[in-house]
Structure formats: structure tokens, C-alpha cells
Chain A
Amino acid sequence: KQEVTQIPAALSVPEGENLVLNCSFTDSAIYNLQWFRQDPGKGLTSLLLIQSSQREQTSGRLNASLDKSSGRSTLYIAASQPGDSATYLCALSTSGTYKYIFGTGTRLKVLA
């Protein structure tokens, strides 16, 4: 059974710092992995989607990488800003199913 883990559960950093959020999974047979941002009381906003054949995707200050052999994805945020404060979730779909499995998220706070 696919399990997705995000550590740490919460993180506080000063503004301007580069940071890495982690997402680990147990089954490497995945279709894709998606990173989301969720603000308090809001829905999920898609940040980056990495297909299983890709190693990384970039959007602005965000870079997501995927290493299926080690069961790990990272979301790199460059030059963090207070507006980046939110919960970041990873989700992946496993080959042969239509189901997405979510991690429990990392709650990020960027201090001004």
C-alpha cells in the first residue's frame, strides 16, 4: 500500500532563506507527483506537476524534483517571502489506479 510522508510537519524560517520541503513515498510505481499550496480555510492550489518520466519541474522561485528510486520528492523554494506562508502538500498517483494519495503536509511560516 502506497504511503506518503511529509517531514517536518511545521517549519519556520526567516525571510530570504532558501528552503527544502520533503515528500517520501513507499511505492515507486507512480504516474505523477503533484505539489500543492493550501492557505488557511482555502482550497488547494497546484504548484508543480512532475510526470514519472521527469526528474524536475520549475516555476519561478519553485523547483520540484523527483527521485523514484529513493522514493523521494523535494520542493525547493528560493528566497522565501512572508507570502509563501501556507501548508504545502504533495500527492501522487500510483500506476494502475485512479487514486491520488496525499501527504499530511508541511506548514510553512516565513517570518518578516
Chain B
Amino acid sequence: NAGVTQTPKFQVLKTGQSMTLQCAQDMNHNSMYWYRQDPGMGLRLIYYSASEGTTDKGEVPNGYNVSRLNKREFSLRLESAAPSQTSVYFCASSESGPTGEQYFGPGTRLTVT
């Protein structure tokens, strides 16, 4: 039982490049989330998917897009990376949205130069 997995673990991009961060969970959870963590800012919600087939914006969605590919997978795409998107990105899932316990992946450390 792997829980929540994320790929890649590390990535360096140049300004303007694009990339997709992958997230998968094997707990049959309905809800999935993408956060970014920055020093002094805590974790901030980028996008979430309450259930398969739905996605909604969080607190800081600008510059990102998401896809809930199926119940297991939720990807985050940066279309044109900017230095301000340098951060650690975490994916999380919960069985029943805001009433359930959240489980986090190990994170992706992204640097945009």
C-alpha cells in the first residue's frame, strides 16, 4: 500500500518551460488536492478535486491547470513556468473531502530559474 505517490521528486525548469507534476493514490479516495509550500507562507491550496470528474480553484490557482484523470490520478500542469512558482508541491487525498483525514505525498521540489 503506497498511499500517495508523486513524481518527479525534484525538477529544475527555465522560465517559460512547461511541465506536469503527477500524483496518484491507491486508497480509493474521492477527493484530491494540490498545495504549494513556501517559507513563511505555510501550505496554500492551488486546486482540488472533490470527486472524479470535478476540479475547483483553491487559494492560488493562477499559472496552473489540473486534470483529474481518473479516481486515482490528479495532475498539476505549469504551462509557462515563472520564478515565482519555485516551491515545494504536495499532493494530498482524503476519502470524503473536508470531513475526512488528509494523506500527503512526499512532495516535488521545483526550482524555476
Contacts and interface: CB of A to CB of B under 8 A. Distances in A.
A101 to B, nearest CB: 8
Nearest to A44: B104
Q: How large is the interface on A (under 10, 10 to 19, 20 to 34, 35 or more residues)?
A: 20 to 34
Given A43-B105, A43-B107, A44-B104, A100 B99 contact: no
Given A32-B99, A94-B98, A99-B48, A89 B43 contact: yes
Nearest to B54: A98
Contacts of A102: 35, 42-44
A34 B106 CA distance: 18
Interface string A78-107: 000000000001010111011110111100
10 contacts: A32-B100, A42-B107, A43-B106, A44-B102, A49-B101, A93-B98, A93-B99, A99-B48, A100-B33, A105-B42
Interface of B: 31, 33, 35, 40-45, 48, 50, 56, 58-59, 90, 92, 97-107
